[in-house]
Amino acid sequence: MAIEGRSPPSRRFLAATLIAYCAFFLMIACCRATPAQDRKVYIAYMGNCPKSQASLPALHFGLLHRIIGNAKVASDSLIYSYHRTFNGFAARLTEAEHQKLSAYEGVVSVFPNKIAKLHTTRSWDFIGYPKNASTSTRRQQSNLIIGVLDTGIWPESPSFDDSGYGPPPKKFKGRCQSSSNFSCNNKIVGARFYNVAGDYGPGDIPSPRDSDGHGSHTASTAAGNFVTPANLYGIANGTARGGVPAARIAVYKICWAFGCSYDDIMKAFDDACSDGIDMVSLSAGGSPMEYFRDPIAIGAFHCMKKGILTSNSAGNDGPFPGSVSNNSPWSLTVAANTIDRKLTTNVKLGNGEIYNGTSLNSFVSNKSMCPIIYGGDAPNTTAGYEGNVSRYCYSGSLDRNLVQGKIVYCEFAGQGDGPREAGAAGAIMGNNPQGDVAFPYLLPVSLLSEKDGSNVLTYSNSTSDPTAVIYKTVDYLDGSSPYVLYFSSRGPNPITPDILKPDLTGPGVNILAAWSQGTTMTGLPGDERVVAYNIISGTSMSYDNSTAPECQV
């Protein structure tokens, strides 16, 4: 007879057994979860590939097995094995395993995986490169293969059409990761993509196809076909071409919405420099670091050992001293200078005065004149803003009832979000310190110098009915170039001061080149302008403008 209030022995035994099982499996789950939570991606660099024919991936696994002590965890931790051009691997490690691996014989360096960031018709005429290539020159160029490590490529662009091209050079051993939405041709001879983490943004496409625009722009600047006419809504109209227009392109997509991961960059180098390319073109970088911990320096070093030069962008963190990235002595680092084509967006006031502004304005005004209102006189008081804030035209700071249909004068050269959200017809921004770089906006905008902006504000305040019109951007020739752009990163070399960096400059402002039609002109929300060619600026453009002379050496 069971005692009231207590379970029978069989039930107590069953309950105890279940509790023990639950505790056991909970302990196993915790043991498994903890390492995964504590593990971070590290890159182990081990120098040259050994002369022996032993399988490096197997050796990398064996080393990880000895470090971790568990075959399954070691297998799951191994991300990449670098074994074609240099020796190394990427793996998920705990801090203790990282320290243990760093002390292991044969390991040059172990460093954490980080994210690098991404740093184009008149430029070739400006630097004096031949406008036409002879048959023999074209034949020589068609044997050149430029490996472009970037955001991919838009293969349907006329800049990458393969009409008139023969089969790819036999030296090329790469491959094309074709899919239902991507294929190579005799111009784009190879294409791969790298995203081992599987981290895809809303607009990212898991293929070599470019959904950003940057990769197509740089590839066509280096090796795009002759394309006539090429322009952006009629701006910079002419013939677009790359520096080596008959060269082939091998694409290595390493950059995504989040940036460019070090482990992916090293795997792309490992493949590219064993595929049979002649040159690496790369426009990404991070903070300066020791060469044996820098994935770009490591990759470029082993490519150079094979006679393959890496051309890098210097970065867009100028004008501060020591801001240059990609400082290794075995790669070419290119800063950005102006070209002799200037873009201007003129503003005409109701009193007849005309001021030369800067922007990339593709909009044609439907009115001859629009009323002007000063942002400081149109604060969104409902949202708690006052004139001392609304004068800068920040997002949400302007009163739509006062601004809609008018041109707003702003004291800050921002993105134009505030005027656009308030329904403005356009914006004049009056404190542009640099008039070289033309930025696109989602409404008509012109950036004026501080002096000209002050004149516009004086006119607006002294007239009962001030009006203005913002004209579409036009281009003209200017003889003051070249000079280094303010945004271009500067030396001295922060890693090896005795080695001068950057090595040279190239055209890097307002460059027209191919664009991805998988995105818009700006990539900003609300922009519906899909274009075949776009105008952008940066050292990403300048290093590609230096690719052609390098390929001919």
Q: Rounded to whole angstroms, how far apart are CA atoms 375 and 399? A: 9
- Helix 56-68 vs helix 95-102: crossing angle, to nearest 10: 120
pLDDT at residue 25 tops 60:
no
Which of 313-329 are b and which e, b meaning 16 or more Cβ less than 10 Å from the residue's Cβ? bbbbbbeeebbbbbbbb
- Cα angle 505, 151, 123 (rounded to 5 degrees) comes to 30
| Segments making up each domain of the chain, as ranges | 31-113, 117-340+480-552, 357-475
Which of 235-248 are b and which e, b meaning 16 or more Cβ less than 10 Å from the residue's Cβ? bbebebbbbbbbbb
Q: Which CATH class is domain 117-340+480-552?
A: alpha beta
DSSP string, 138-181: HHHHTT-EEEEEES-B-TTSGGG--TT--SPPTT----B--BTT
Calculate Rg over the CA atoms of the chain.
29
- Comparing CA positions, the residue from 469, 383, 375 lying closest to residue 431 is 375
CATH architecture of 357-475: 3-Layer(bba) Sandwich (3.50)
End-to-end CA, the chain:
100
Using alpha carbons, list the distances in angstroms from residue 466 to 335, 349, 367.
43, 8, 15
Q: Rounded to whole angstroms, how far apart are CA atoms 283 and 215? A: 9
- Cβ atoms within 10 A of the Cβ of 184, count? 24
User: Is 357 in a helix, a strand, or coil?
Assistant: strand
CATH architecture of 31-113: 2-Layer Sandwich (3.30)
Output the pTM of the full model: 0.87
pLDDT at 323: 94
Select the highest-mean-pLDDT range: 37-46, 62-71, 540-549. 62-71
Q: Rounded to whole angstroms, how far apart are CA atoms 473 and 346? A: 7
- Per-residue confidence at 30, pLDDT binned at 50, 70, 90? very low
Burial label, 441 (beta-carbon count in 10 A; 0-12, 13-18, 19+): buried
pLDDT at 181: 87
- Per-residue confidence at 550, pLDDT binned at 50, 70, 90? low
- Per-residue confidence at 478, pLDDT binned at 50, 70, 90? confident
pLDDT digits (tens, 9 = 90+) for 490-513: 999 999 999 999 999 988 899 999
pLDDT digits (tens, 9 = 90+) for 161-208: 999 999 999 999 999 998 888 999 999 999 999 999 999 999 999 999
Residues with a catalytic annotation lie at 150, 214, 540
